[in-house]
Amino acid sequence: MKTDVQRLLPKGVQAVVIALLLLFALAPVLYMLFASVNDDLAVARGGFWPAGFHPANYLRIWDTVALGAGLVNSVLVAGSVAIVSAGVSVATAYVLVRFTFFGRGLILRGLLALQSIPGTLMLLPVFVLFANLARVLGIDTIGTRWALFVTYLTFALPFSTWVMVTYLRGLPPELDEAARLDGASSWRILRSIVIPLSWPGLVVSAIFAFLLGWNDVLFASVITDADTRTAAVALQVFGATQEGGAIPLYGQLMASALICALPVVVLYLAFQRFLVGGLTAGGVK
């Protein structure tokens, strides 16, 4: 009898498989990194290794792409959506998990059903809704950050709430009962017990909501204008202006894409341990 756990693959085969997976995943990133400091003509010819070192591409993009304003808009909108979505979802999930009332099951199934609706189908209704709201109330909607915030929050809340429902089901209800015996209210239990114990789930909900706002191009390109466009839209506009004609500014385009991807990578690295716990919560009962 072998004392070690039997492995599905020998160590040598595992190392080869991991190396191939890393190569497959990192090859596009390395190409973008090399192209961002390469000559545009060399990139157009299909070169992988830099023919020359041009770090000035990372300085020129702030004037060429106007990336600074786009990053500020993306951080403001996506960050506020992440914070509000996490806060609202944990409160909603607490009510759905700890209390029994008429329609509770219907709400849970509705949250799950909302995830099956493609976002592209909602583009025209959302635009018409904001346009009519501006006409009726006499306030600016199209071209504002708050309209984009409301749009992203609407799409982020169902998934965030379902994540928190799954996570809170794993918390022992005896904690609530013990707190109620000491005279704690539902709000005090939520604030002092549930939220401190739900950080992994909150992080997953917040990061999902942040990514929804950070990566979106479809709604942002319709709702925003030149002053409120996000980094993703600014990158799309820059890429569209490089099509046809002279040699595109490949170096600046790749540098812009890397800078836009950097905040997401930092988020994953900073909250990796919370992500693992939040995504696996409720998987084992």
Mean pLDDT, range 119-147, rounded to an integer: 85
Residue 267 inside a domain? The answer is yes
Domain residue limits at 216: 57-280
74 pLDDT exceeds 90?
yes
Q: Residue 193 gets which letter from DSSP?
A: I
Residue 17 inside a domain? The answer is no
pLDDT at 7: 58
Residues of the chain above pLDDT 70, percent:
92
Mean pLDDT, range 226-247, rounded to an integer: 82
pLDDT at 80: 95
Span 238-276, pLDDT tens digits: 888 776 666 778 888 889 989 999 888 888 888 877 776
* Separation of alpha carbons 269 and 285, rounded Å: 28
Residue 52 inside a domain? The answer is no
Q: Residue 49 gets which letter from DSSP?
A: S
Q: What is the CATH number of the domain that holds 219?
A: 1.10.3720.10
SS3 label, residue 2: coil
Span 7-36, pLDDT tens digits: 566 777 778 888 898 888 888 888 889 888
At 149, the pLDDT band (50, 70, 90 cuts) reads: very high
pLDDT at 3: 39
pLDDT at 1: 43
Residue 156 inside a domain? The answer is yes
203 pLDDT exceeds 50?
yes
At 71, the pLDDT band (50, 70, 90 cuts) reads: very high
Mean pLDDT, range 66-73, rounded to an integer: 88
At 5, the pLDDT band (50, 70, 90 cuts) reads: very low
Residue 253 inside a domain? The answer is yes
Mean pLDDT, range 181-209, rounded to an integer: 87
pLDDT at 244: 64
Give pTM, 2 decimals.
Answer: 0.84
Query: With contact defined as beta carbons under 8 Å apart, do 149 and 82 qualify?
Result: no
57 pLDDT exceeds 80?
yes
* Separation of alpha carbons 246 and 124, rounded Å: 35
Residue 2 inside a domain? The answer is no
Residue 105 inside a domain? The answer is yes
* Separation of alpha carbons 98 and 93, rounded Å: 8
Residue 127 inside a domain? The answer is yes
Total domains in the chain come to 1
Query: With contact defined as beta carbons under 8 Å apart, do 274 and 204 qualify?
Result: yes
